[in-house]
């Protein structure tokens, strides 16, 4: 086990992407587990998907924050590509810990809208690194992605694997984030940890992800296309497991050390956070349909077999994702383990309530 060297209580923490799926859940976890704590959320609330869902997440945080009056919650609407605004935010709040979850997500969207990824994922992250350089932090934690593994044939995917062959621009931007962070760790002794997330799902998740897309098609009675003829496997990871992993990692910054040359050895680390149990996409959709029936979102006589269609792979997709989480378990004593049916049941129940189906 790593020595936990960052006490989050009474600290000031920046969470970028705070209106996002993972970011909003992280803010709520920090309030519940580490009060008193001062949290600043930063998000541009763009319209990549329904802004009302982002507003719903922020409202949920506002209501929760009232239960922790000894803590503070501040939300800033802003773009990370605006360097002046980022610098002013760092200068004002002097963050102890930064968690950068803000990014333009989505593999397929990056094929048609590459410029958005360069602005959000490259320029935005550069501005965060520069701010951490000029206003030093105890720990920078940032979101990478399982997409950096590309079409890696070796499974499970290990952070020791070579990841120099991205098959989407989104993946390339996430790999570049890791390289940027390594360089800044070396040059400026910034303790930084990258987290490669594996297919996150759960209540109030992103509408562009599989669970929501399939659910909408179920409700409309449309044909359900299952890519790679049903042979895709994904390491589906429930959002609570992702957030638990993030909070544990936040408390264990890589230690600063100098090498024989007297210069810093980069205080830098990368971990996978995944369920370590790939599920067949066909099984995922089948279980989702069953849980939506159970929640009353779909009629009891819904016939999944009559609606499914097996189709070829899409550009930018990979056949399998599978996380090696041994380093995370070794260093932080945590291994994601929420069973798929349990997670999908919670998602279906939330969907029923939120959309009033």
Under DSSP, the state recorded for 121 is: I
Q: Which residues contact 56 (CB under 8 A, 6 or more apart)?
A: 204, 354
| Residue among 170, 184, 238, 271 flagged as catalytic | 170
CA-to-CA distance for 235 and 47, rounded, in angstroms?
A: 27
CA-to-CA distance for 318 and 49, rounded, in angstroms?
A: 23
CA-to-CA distance for 155 and 191, rounded, in angstroms?
A: 29
Q: Please state the length of the chain.
A: 357
> Whose CA is closest to 2, among 173, 139, 179?
139
User: Between 51-65 and 21-34, two packed helices, what is the crossing angle to 10 degrees?
Assistant: 0
The answer to whether residues 241 and 338 touch, using CB atoms and an 8 Å cutoff, is yes
> Whose CA is closest to 241, among 322, 145, 340?
340
CA-to-CA distance for 262 and 34, rounded, in angstroms?
A: 36
170 is catalytic: yes
> Whose CA is closest to 62, among 70, 71, 73?
73
> Whose CA is closest to 345, among 306, 299, 287?
287
Radius of gyration of the chain measured on its C-alpha atoms: 20
Q: Is 293 exposed, middle or buried (0-12, 13-18, 19+ CB in 10 A)?
A: middle
Q: What is the 3-state secondary structure (H, E, C) of 213-269?
A: HHHHHHHHCCCEEEHHHHCCEECCEEHHHHHHHHHHHHCCCCCCEECCCCCEECCEE
- Alpha-carbon separation of residue 281 from 34, 202, 222 (angstroms): 37, 16, 18
Catalytic residues: 170
């Amino acid at each position: 086990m790593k020595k936990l060297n960052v006490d989050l209580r009474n600290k000031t923490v920046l969470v970028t992407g705070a209106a996002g799926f993972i970011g909003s859940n992280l803010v709520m976890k920090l309030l519940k587990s580490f009060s008193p704590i001062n949290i600043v959320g930063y998000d541009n609330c763009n319209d990549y998907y329904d802004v009302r869902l982002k507003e719903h997440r922020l409202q949920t945080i506002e209501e929760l924050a009232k239960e922790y009056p000894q803590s503070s919650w501040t939300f800033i609407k802003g773009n990370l590509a605006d360097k002046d605004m980022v610098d002013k935010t760092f200068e004002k709040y002097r963050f102890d810990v930064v968690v950068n979850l803000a990014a333009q997500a989505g593999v397929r969207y990056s094929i048609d809208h590459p410029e958005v990824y360069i602005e959000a994922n490259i320029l935005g992250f550069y501005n965060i690194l520069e701010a951490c350089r000029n206003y030093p932090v105890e720990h920078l934690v940032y979101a990478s992605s399982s997409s950096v593994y590309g079409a890696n044939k070796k499974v499970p995917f290990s952070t020791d694997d070579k990841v120099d062959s991205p098959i989407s621009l989104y993946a390339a931007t996430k790999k570049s984030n890791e390289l940027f962070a390594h360089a800044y760790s070396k040059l400026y002794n910034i303790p930084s940890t990258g987290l490669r997330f594996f297919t996150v799902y759960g209540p109030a998740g992103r509408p562009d992800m599989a669970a929501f897309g399939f659910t909408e098609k179920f409700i409309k009675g449309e044909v359900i296309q299952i890519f790679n003829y049903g042979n895709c496997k994904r390491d589906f990871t429930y959002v609570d497991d992702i957030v638990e992993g993030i909070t544990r990692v936040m408390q264990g910054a890589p230690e600063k050390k100098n090498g024989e040359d007297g210069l810093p050895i980069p205080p830098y680390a990368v971990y996978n956070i995944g369920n370590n149990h790939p599920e067949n996409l066909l099984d995922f959709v089948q279980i989702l349909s069953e849980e939506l029936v159970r929640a009353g979102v779909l009629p009891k006589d819904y016939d999944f077999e009559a609606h499914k269609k097996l189709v070829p792979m899409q550009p930018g997709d990979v056949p399998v994702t599978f996380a090696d989480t041994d380093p995370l378990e070794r260093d932080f004593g945590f291994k994601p383990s929420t069973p798929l049916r349990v997670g999908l049941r919670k998602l279906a129940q939330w969907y029923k309530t939120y959309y009033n189906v």
